Amino acid sequence: MYNFEVEKPTSIADAVAALSADEAQALGGGQTLIPTLKQRLASPSKLVSLSGIAEMQGMRLAAGSLCIGGATSHATVAAEATGSYPALAALAGGIGDPAVRNRGTIGGSLANNDPAACYPAAALASGAVIVTNAREIAADDFFDGLFTTVLEEGEIVTEVRLQVPEAANYQKFVQPASRFALVGVFVAKFANAVRVAVTGASEEGVFRWSEAEAALSSNFSADALEGLSVAPEGMMADIHGSKAYRAHLLGVLTKRAVAAAA
Amino acid sequence: MPKDSDQIESGIGASPKRREDVRFLTGAGNYTDDINLNGQAYVYFLRSDMAHGRIISIDTSDAAAMPGVVQIFTGADFEAVGGIPCGWQITDKHGEVMQEPAHPVLAQGKVRYVGDAIAAVVADSLDQARDAAEAIVLDIEELPAVINMKAALKEGATKVHDDLTSNLCYDWGFVEENKPAVEEAFAKAAHVTTLELVNNRLIANPMEPRVALGDFNRATGDSTLYTTSQNPHVIRLLMGAFVLGIPEHKLRVIAPDVGGGFGTKIFHYAEEAFCTFAAKALNRAVKWTSSRAEAFISDAHGRDHVTTIQLALDSDNNFTALRTDTHANMGAYLSTFAPSVPTWLHGTLMAGNYKTPLIYVNVKAVFTNTVPVDAYRGAGRPEATFQLERVIDKAARELGVDPIALRRQNFITEFPYATPVAVEYDTGDYNATMDKLEEIADLAGFAARRAKSEARGLVRGLGVNCYIEACGIAPSNLVGQLGARAGLYESATVRVNATGGLVVMTGSHSHGQGHETSFPQVIAEMIGIDESMVEIVHGDTANTPMGMGTYGSRSLAVGGSAMVRATEKIIAKAKKIAAHILEASDADIELKDGQFSIAGTDKSLAWGDVTLAAYVPHNYPLEDIEPGLEETAFYDPANFTYPSGAYACEVELDPETGKVSIERFAAADDFGNIVNPMIVDGQVHGGIGQGIGQALLEAAVYNEDGQLLSASYMDYAMPRADDLPFYQVDHSCQTPCTHNPLGVKGCGEAGAIGSPPAVVNAVVDALQSMGKDVTHVDMPLSPARVWAAMNG
Ligand SMILES: Cc1cc2nc3c(=O)[nH]c(=O)nc-3n(C[C@H](O)[C@H](O)[C@H](O)COP(=O)(O)OP(=O)(O)OC[C@H]3O[C@@H](n4cnc5c(N)ncnc54)[C@H](O)[C@@H]3O)c2cc1C
């Protein structure tokens, strides 16, 4: 780790002000950032902790959306969304281990946009709106390739508004070592449409599987997916799975998610 | 007759809770990193991020001027110092000794693997050392990396060591004289089964990373090294005599509490020599604590064999001959015991539990641009067991016979049994352990369980295998003939205090095995006193006799035997003292339940009365014996010990994803006599955990540039609790070892040796039952690999 300053503001406005300093960086739960600092792969001059900002904590239901404060921990979502959005609660409860879930935050996860992370799939499938200190961004416009989002320097995710579907399910097939998603599929059925978001698989990061969405929108059953597949080209390959394997898993998991949700 | 452990409350056969766990579980352990010396400096090793390169220059001038820097060392500072020695010399099939490259403390001339230490920065704090390391300017010309073993042996391949003739360390044939007869048997065979397989490279990952703290006393000229070692005396000898030229009486090595070793803490590492050297050079203690990331690229790795094995059978399915062709990866340098692992710890086990009359083993050991490879739990024996038990399974399938019946038919049933691969098994009963396995694994119920799995859309497979191991390493004269540059006896000093308590100073080292609990059980049984009166001291060369340490499941069989011998001397002397006081002859004195009595009388003396007399010799046979009660024994075994067993694994395979889960795992072991059944259970559980880790999850993977792709827990999959089933473990089959006083065989490695083939046999069984023509899948059986095999 290199040396840095730490600030712990109590309001979004103070956080934004603190982040305007040169080389300042937001600190959510630190579950990604702290290991990166320990490896000396980042050298911020100042960390601005978001964990003391009351207005970024907790969740509420409003206009059919579950609105989760950007600094809300995975453990909180796992425990408190069980009634309002069970598939999301289950997803949060399946991230990492208890220590990771107690610290890691939804805002940090979305801002980080790890191609194998879980929340990006939920946000995309739920047609979420990502609220920052400056604007509201549709999830469809938010993710911008591996570890990249449209967030500007110093911009913070203050709230995530996820539309609560009629039925939903997240299927995560774990990478054996990290237990991030080797492939994860989030299926959400709304009154007028079905959204299918896939994480862990594509070289471009989280994406919507539009053919599956179209098929499922007219017939929400695993049978509707028969014959549909994603081409291995464009999938990621590493020591844990080839392109072909990821493409195959994506199909299997989508069917399982539909079967579990239906 | 095995004792029924439930009825035994103390001594041999009881299961007292591990006394050391009180300090381990309450944070009161004293690990090397807990030790901090006044004014200590910290070293950070700048390690190569290139697998192979020629060092053009190392410019440390800017770095040396940075805050807190004490001194920066490079390979040049070690030119007058010895290299890291190798403890075993192999003679190849042509009678030539192996090629043995120089192994400098810090890289000289070339870097040879990602992780090779180029420079060592000593500073007042670790952060300052690390900052300065980043300011070192390196000019290294990248060379092609030598990674694939077979390519490394091709004519004209890039050489890891320019001064060697090739990348071949040795080409070992065993037993070379058998070769023509083996060939002939293959020519005559009714059936030959051939299998090619990989024994995957592993990283031990003990919970405690390695640490070294060197200290120097200016007043006495003594050096002290605190280190995370399984064998402090071996480190003292290797480092003192071969690297730094410090005689033993000026060098003390202390290995305090050690948080797991699994083999990788046997070896003498460059970091230990560096800290000891630098402490003296700087007249200041120097400490190194490995980070987890560093451990992946600097702890010796394990396994990494590529093998073709062939089994010949006659028309009655009797095994008639076996031959193997193995490439064994040595990595870039020879680690302490590396050459012995694929040879004497591997070739000698190829008979397994079977009376195959003719065996020929060929091993080519190869240098590559990877981390050095050495012993890891089981060391050579898991590699042997895996090949043998896989090829037998394949043969059974090819012949359409029951794999258990084929094994039973070929079992060795008469003991002692001299194998065609140079060892003699003293005892064993392989049918008994197989019978026990069939019972505890409920093999009869498999078909019903398979049907249940099928109803859930899953495919169940059953894998069974046997294993034999040679442990309790070893007779010194034998290993000397085989190339060991060390003796492999063990030592113990038993000191009885005036009021009757005992301290045992053992040359064995406990790094999780529970010696502090099990060793006192033996002494308590011999004397008839409470275990709490016995304390075990280990890990410090200054207060234990010269010992060889702990590995190869040797502590109780060899170290425990030394302790028994020393205690026998104590008892003999105590009887003399008792005889004198009781005015009887020595021969009439009996010791039972801590009381000395004259046979056939009611005259007796308590243990404590006699020990007091030894130190307050008022009424004492001073003309015959010296006062005091302290004895030392060195024990050199007559043979290895040969634990054996039969294991069964049941898996469920998800046919859609290739994911394998272990549903049941049973182990029936024969460890001879058992001192503490609970500790034995724990050793077997841990071993199976590591074996399942190897079979399903773990792999150290290099890409062709020599980058370690699995260099952190994000990519190196360690087994977690939920990867493992509840085990059925049994060790009631007991054929005691005939040549050590306790009749014990050793249980530390069995689980890791016996379990990988059971898992792979089970997965192949599942695939076959789906109608897939899959005869082998290489470990680890990750979902992706199993799926690829299913759809290949
Ligand atoms: C062992 C382990 C296992 C894990 N397993 C999983 C898993 O299975 N699935 C999964 O999805 N994730 C997993 N994670 C990642 C975990 O969910 C992280 O918590 C998450 O990715 C990052 O969230 P954080 O709050 O910790 O962010 P931090 O680490 O604090 O920050 C990450 C990045 O986001 C920025 N940032 C943080 N908060 C905000 C904000 N509100 N607005 C804008 N930028 C912000 C930071 O500046 C930084 O660049 C795992 C992590 C670990 C250590």
pLDDT value at B318 more than 50:
yes
Reported confidence tier of residue B4, pLDDT bands at 50, 70, 90 = low
Residues B242-246, mean pLDDT to the nearest whole number = 96
State how many domains chain A has.
3
* B-interface mutation test, from A171, A248, A250, most B Cβ less than 10 A away: A248
Letter string b/e over residues B197-209, b meaning 16 or more CB atoms within 10 A of that residue's CB: bbbbbbbbbbebb
Of the residues A100, A135, A163, the one at which a domain ends: A163
- Alpha-carbon distance of B225 to B214, in angstroms, equals 5
Alpha-carbon distance A178 to nearest alpha carbon in chain B (angstroms): 4
Please tell me the residue having the least CA distance from ligand 1 atom 28. Answer: A30
The residues, ordered by sequence, that sit 6+ positions from B674 with a Cβ below 8 Å of its Cβ are: B2, B5, B12, B13, B680, B731, B734, B744
Token duo for residue A118 = 């879980």
Instruction: Give one DSSP letter per residue of B198-233, joined into a string.
Output: EE--B----SSPPEEEEEEETTTTEEEEEE--S-HH
* Interface contact A177-B717, CB threshold 8 A: yes
Residues A9-18, mean pLDDT to the nearest whole number = 98
Which atom of ligand 1 lies closest to the CA of A174?
Answer: 8
Residue B783 touches partner A, C-beta closer than 8 Å: yes
What is the predicted pLDDT for the residue at B7? 76
Residues A85-99, mean pLDDT to the nearest whole number = 98
Residue in A177, A242, A248 closest to B714 by CB? A177
Pocket of ligand 1 contains residue A29 by CB under 6 Å: yes
Residue A248 touches partner B, C-beta closer than 8 Å: yes
Residues B593-603, mean pLDDT to the nearest whole number = 94
Residue A116 touches partner B, C-beta closer than 8 Å: no
* Interface contact A178-B788, CB threshold 8 A: no
Choose between A2 and B694: higher pLDDT.
Answer: B694
Task: For residues A24 and A91, state if they share a domain.
Answer: no
Residue in B657, B701, B718 closest to A252 by CB? B657
Task: For residues A97 and A144, state if they share a domain.
Answer: yes
What is the predicted pLDDT for the residue at B5? 56
| pLDDT tens figures, B323-344 | 999 999 999 999 999 999 999 9
Residues B70-76, mean pLDDT to the nearest whole number = 98
Nearest-10 crossing angle of helices B750-769, B677-692:
50
Token duo for residue B593 = 């339940």
Residue B697 touches partner A, C-beta closer than 8 Å: yes
Binding-face residues of A in 84-103 toward B, CB within 8 A: none
Reported confidence tier of residue B254, pLDDT bands at 50, 70, 90 = very high
Reported confidence tier of residue B122, pLDDT bands at 50, 70, 90 = very high
* Interface contact B783-A252, CB threshold 8 A: no
Residue B141 touches partner A, C-beta closer than 8 Å: no
Of the residues A138, A163, A188, the one at which a domain ends: A163
**Closest-approach residue (CA) in chain B for A237:** B784
Look up residue A166 and give its amino acid. Answer: E
What is the predicted pLDDT for the residue at B775? 97
Task: For residues A209 and A184, state if they share a domain.
Answer: yes
* A-interface mutation test, from B202, B657, B697, B723, most A Cβ less than 10 A away: B657
Alpha-carbon distance A252 to nearest alpha carbon in chain B (angstroms): 7
Consecutive H or E run containing B306 = strand B305-313
DSSP E strand boundaries for chain A: 5-7, 24-27, 46-49, 59-62, 65-69, 129-132, 136-138, 157-163, 167-174, 181-189, 194-199, 207-208
Alpha-carbon distance B713 to nearest alpha carbon in chain A (angstroms): 6
Please tell me the residue having the least CA distance from ligand 1 atom 3. Answer: A96
**Mean pLDDT of all residues belonging to chain A:** 97
Task: For residues A96 and A37, state if they share a domain.
Answer: no
Distance A2 CA to ligand 1 centre (A): 20
Task: For residues A44 and A60, state if they share a domain.
Answer: no
What is the set of domains in chain B, with CATH numbers?
Answer: 5-29+489-635 (3.30.365.10), 32-93+102-143+209-258+265-298 (3.90.1170.50), 301-474+639-791 (3.30.365.10)
Residue in A40, A240, A249 closest to B657 by CB? A249
Residues B162-166, mean pLDDT to the nearest whole number = 98
- Interface contacts (A, B; CB < 8 Å): 49
DSSP helix, strand, coil percent of chain B (3-state; round to 5):
30, 25, 45
Task: For residues A101 and A151, state if they share a domain.
Answer: yes
Task: For residues A148 and A184, state if they share a domain.
Answer: no
pTM (2 decimals)?
A: 0.97
Task: For residues A44 and A63, state if they share a domain.
Answer: no
| pLDDT tens figures, B738-773 | 999 999 999 999 999 999 999 999 999 999 999 999
% of residues, chain B, pLDDT over 90: 96
Pocket of ligand 1 contains residue A44 by CB under 6 Å: no
The residues, ordered by sequence, that sit 6+ positions from B618 with a Cβ below 8 Å of its Cβ are: none
CATH number for the domain harbouring residue A67: 3.30.465.10
* Interface contact A177-B713, CB threshold 8 A: yes
CATH number for the domain harbouring residue A257: 3.30.390.50
The residues, ordered by sequence, that sit 6+ positions from B238 with a Cβ below 8 Å of its Cβ are: B84, B85, B87, B268, B336
Contacts of B701 in chain A (CB under 8 A): 239
Task: For residues A189 and A155, state if they share a domain.
Answer: no
* Interface contact B715-A240, CB threshold 8 A: yes
Contacts of B693 in chain A (CB under 8 A): none
| pLDDT tens figures, B524-557 | 999 999 999 999 999 999 999 999 999 988 999 9
| pLDDT tens figures, A109-119 | 999 999 999 99
Token duo for residue B529 = 């006193």
**Mean pLDDT of all residues belonging to chain B:** 96
Task: For residues A210 and A239, state if they share a domain.
Answer: yes
| pLDDT tens figures, A140-158 | 999 999 999 999 999 999 9
pLDDT value at A81 more than 50:
yes
What is the predicted pLDDT for the residue at B2? 46
Please tell me the residue having the least CA distance from ligand 1 atom 5. Answer: A96
Pocket of ligand 1 contains residue A100 by CB under 6 Å: yes
ipTM greater than 0.85: yes
Please tell me what DSSP assigns to residue B498: T
pLDDT value at B469 more than 80:
yes
CATH number for the domain harbouring residue A9: 3.30.43.10
Distance A24 CA to ligand 1 centre (A): 17
Residues B252-259, mean pLDDT to the nearest whole number = 97
β-partners of residue B598 are: B589
Residue B714 touches partner A, C-beta closer than 8 Å: yes
| pLDDT tens figures, B75-89 | 999 999 999 999 999
Residue B166 touches partner A, C-beta closer than 8 Å: no
Residue in A240, A242, A252 closest to B656 by CB? A252
What is the predicted pLDDT for the residue at B1? 38
- Alpha-carbon distance of B525 to B574, in angstroms, equals 16
Of the residues A49, A64, A82, the one at which a domain ends: A49
pLDDT value at B792 more than 90:
no
What is the predicted pLDDT for the residue at B9? 85
Task: For residues A151 and A213, state if they share a domain.
Answer: no
Consecutive H or E run containing B757 = helix B750-769
Is residue B149 within 8 Å of residue B327, measured between CB atoms? yes
Task: For residues A138 and A199, state if they share a domain.
Answer: no
The alpha helices in B456-514, defined as continuous H runs, are 476-481
% of residues, chain B, pLDDT over 70: 99
**Residue A212: which domain range?**
167-261
Reported confidence tier of residue B8, pLDDT bands at 50, 70, 90 = confident
What is the predicted pLDDT for the residue at B232? 97
